[in-house]
């Protein structure tokens, strides 16, 4: 699933390309992806709206439109937004640009046409994505947005706040970093990378961690997320940038999906172990 760095990369790219463009046309072969309002209302209301702003909240993409409307997209496991040009042949989108012909970009189930000829597509292999249209004023009142924890790359996210969010938790640190109500935007990839950078074992309980260790984790959160944004995210799986190209974090990745390989720092063998239905990758030699 695209995490904070991947979503931030998409938001930054779209913000440079689609601001002030008007939506002329909309197509989908998977109506179930439209979660709110009903499909006919969504299709009617989206047409003619102008893009005013593109922003991110946790793993959600928020596209503010004219007339106080906001398009909300959660890409889920295999979704990513793409910009380019497609031709519909027998209800199948055929891409014009070479990068969009990558096999992981071939699962286009939604298309938006803009008034300058550019198009935006949602590639979503498993069709788990969520696309919604809301009155902008009502959006912040949505339960799923209100319950999100603080954004880790904002000035409001201080060490004091981080410590407060963890206080009284009985989970291990890996589970806490994955909990979107504690800190928003971090998923399986970057929780592993953050804890490797901090030299902390993912199965350490919160109550077992000393304050100096929490400070190290706090600093590693900022370091790893900023590095991942700089490298345009991780594309070893389905995620692609909006131009169809791959992110570059894979060259920097230290432990995630590297089970059985040598740790680049301690020389130990990287292990994978389940925790709460998710996998933690770590080096038992240097992560204590």
155 class by beta-carbon count within 10 Å (0-12 exposed, 13-18 middle, 19+ buried): exposed
Report yes or no: 125 and 237 within 8 Å, Cβ to Cβ: no
User: Catalytic site residue 202?
Assistant: no
User: Catalytic site residue 261?
Assistant: no
User: Catalytic site residue 278?
Assistant: yes
Q: How many residues does the structure list for the chain?
A: 288
Query: In this structure, what token pair is assigned to residue 112?
Result: 């938006």
User: Catalytic site residue 207?
Assistant: no
Please count the other Cβ atoms lying within 10 Å of the Cβ belonging to residue 288: 10
Of 3, 6, 130, 234, catalytic: 3
Report yes or no: 207 and 214 within 8 Å, Cβ to Cβ: no
Of 2, 5, 202, 242, catalytic: 2
The neighbouring-strand residues paired with 81 are: 122
Of 49, 59, 175, 258, catalytic: 59
Q: Classify the C-alpha dihedral 14-18-23-24 as positive or negative.
A: negative
Of 22, 278, 284, 285, catalytic: 278
- Report d(CA 164, CA 29) in Å as an integer: 45
Angle at 131 between CA 127 and CA 134, to 5 degrees: 165
- Report d(CA 31, CA 275) in Å as an integer: 35
Report yes or no: 63 and 112 within 8 Å, Cβ to Cβ: no
Q: Give the residue numbers annotated as catalytic, written as ranges.
A: 2-3, 59, 278
């Amino acid at each position: 699933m695209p995490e904070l760095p991947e979503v931030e990369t998409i938001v930054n790219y779209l913000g440079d390309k689609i601001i002030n463009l008007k939506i002329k046309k909309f197509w989908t072969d998977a109506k179930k992806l439209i979660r709110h309002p009903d499909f006919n209302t969504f299709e009617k209301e989206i047409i003619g709206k102008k893009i005013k702003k593109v922003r991110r909240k946790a793993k959600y993409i928020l596209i503010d439109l004219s007339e106080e409307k906001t398009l909300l997209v959660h890409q889920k496991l295999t979704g990513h937004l793409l910009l380019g040009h497609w031709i519909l042949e027998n209800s199948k989108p055929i891409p014009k640009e070479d990068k969009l012909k990558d096999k992981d970009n071939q699962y286009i189930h939604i298309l938006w046409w803009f008034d300058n000829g550019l198009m935006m597509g949602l590639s979503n292999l498993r069709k788990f994505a969520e696309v919604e249209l809301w009155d902008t004023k009502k959006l912040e009142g949505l339960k799923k947005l209100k319950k999100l924890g603080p954004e880790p790359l904002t000035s409001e996210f201080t060490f004091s706040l981080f410590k407060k969010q963890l206080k009284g938790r009985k989970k291990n640190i890996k589970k806490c970093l994955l909990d979107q109500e504690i800190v928003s935007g971090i998923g399986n990839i970057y929780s592993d990378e953050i804890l490797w950078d901090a030299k902390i074992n993912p199965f350490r309980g919160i109550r077992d961690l000393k304050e100096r260790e929490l400070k190290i984790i706090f600093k590693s959160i900022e370091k790893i997320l900023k590095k991942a944004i700089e490298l345009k995210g991780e594309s070893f799986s389905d995620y692609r940038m909006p131009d169809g190209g791959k992110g570059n974090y894979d060259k920097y990745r230290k432990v995630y999906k590297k089970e059985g390989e040598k740790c680049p720092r301690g020389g130990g063998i990287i292990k994978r172990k389940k925790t709460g239905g998710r996998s933690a990758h770590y080096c038992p030699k240097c992560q204590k």
